[in-house]
Amino acid sequence: MTKPSETLDALNAMPANSFVAAVEKTFERAPWVAEAVSGGRPYGTVAALHEAMMRTVRQAPVDKILAFINEHPELGSRVKRAELTGHSQAEQGGLGLDRLSADEFERFSRLNAAYRQKFGFPFIICVRRHTRDSILRQFERRLSNDAETERAAALTEIGLITRLRLVDAVDGPGKPATTGRLSTHVLDTVSGRPAPGVKIALHEIGASARGLLKETITNADGRTDAPLISGEPLRIGTYELSFHIGAYFAGLKHAQSADPPFLDVVPIRFSIAEPEGHYHVPLLATPWNYTTYRGS
């Protein structure tokens, strides 16, 4: 996450043109949103500023809303980078949507064409809150909506996109929640103590592949020195934690472990549905069995 470039206090005190210049890019090619809320200052919280900006969009005439939605780029399209705003480049690039394989590009192209033919505007989703698989599921599900429902869905997603952009750009009180946290710990239930030195790997599980996100080792408290993911939204999707407990128990002097161990690498596959939530996925293990749960 980049350091915010402005404070809310500074925004509240700026001349109108400076205020517009500072926040207009949070809404895709729509300086009229910032212009409309400039006169409502001072805003007591970052959330209040964002709510005012979204209220301006929602209260605009339908033709203006549709024109605004149409300023957003299609997902996974091979438009020239110069035609994308800096925010859109970073958001799509962060998920690899600018580097799709031929098969992936064909699927996105097919869905984009079907969606635009039905609704007359591009499919909008907050990319930073989703994995590719999740986006494709939402794409196909939302194609069954009627036009009014889908226009409302697009505005909801724009609210999520711009909330993230504004929080990245502005520091101040009352920031809306935009980040989640994934953490773990390992407990040796034979000794009733935390298990240090356990290697852990976190993978994202996709429909056709798995990608390594992080490797780490538990500390003396059986935890990792830092959360597995933090400071950003947790992308909606499926994940797997692999705990190398065979090596841990083999290294204990009095552990009753077999050779080779009965449990070597324990995989815990789980899904994330709340990008701003806290998912704590611990492992409680012996050489012969294990349990897990969603903790806090």
**Domain at 148, CATH number:** 1.10.3330.10
Q: What's the total number of domains in the chain?
A: 2
Residue 1 is assigned to a structural domain of this protein: no
Residues 134-193 have pLDDT tens digits of 999 999 999 999 999 999 999 999 999 999 999 999 999 999 999 999 999 999 999 999
Residue 74 is assigned to a structural domain of this protein: yes
Residue 232 is assigned to a structural domain of this protein: yes
Q: Which of 171, 188, 208 is the last residue of a domain?
A: 171
Copy the structure tokens of residue 10: 């500074």
Write phi, then psi, for 223 (nearest 5 degrees). -115, 175
Please state, as a whole number, how many other Cβ atoms lie within 10 Å of the Cβ of residue 86. Answer: 9
Instruction: Give Cα separations from 22 to 5, 238, 278 (angstroms).
Output: 9, 37, 32
31 and 145 both lie in a single domain: yes
Residue 296 is assigned to a structural domain of this protein: no
234 and 112 both lie in a single domain: no
121 and 189 both lie in a single domain: no
13 and 80 both lie in a single domain: yes
CA distance 290 to 189: 9
Consecutive sets of 10 residues in the chain, 296 residues long: mean pLDDT of each? 83 97 95 98 98 98 96 72 63 66 84 96 96 92 96 97 97 97 97 97 88 96 98 97 96 78 96 98 97 94
CA distance 228 to 215: 9
Q: Which domain holds residue 188?
A: 180-291
Residue 43 is assigned to a structural domain of this protein: yes
Residues in the chain: 296
CATH for 284: 2.60.40.180
Q: In the prediction, which pLDDT does 86 show?
A: 67
Q: In the prediction, which pLDDT does 209 show?
A: 77
Contact by Cβ (8 Å): 286, 190? yes
Residue 136 is assigned to a structural domain of this protein: yes
DSSP string, 41-97: PPPSSHHHHHHHHHHHHHTS-HHHHHHHHTTSPPTT----GGGS-HHHHHHHHHTTT
pTM of the complete model:
0.90
82 and 158 both lie in a single domain: yes
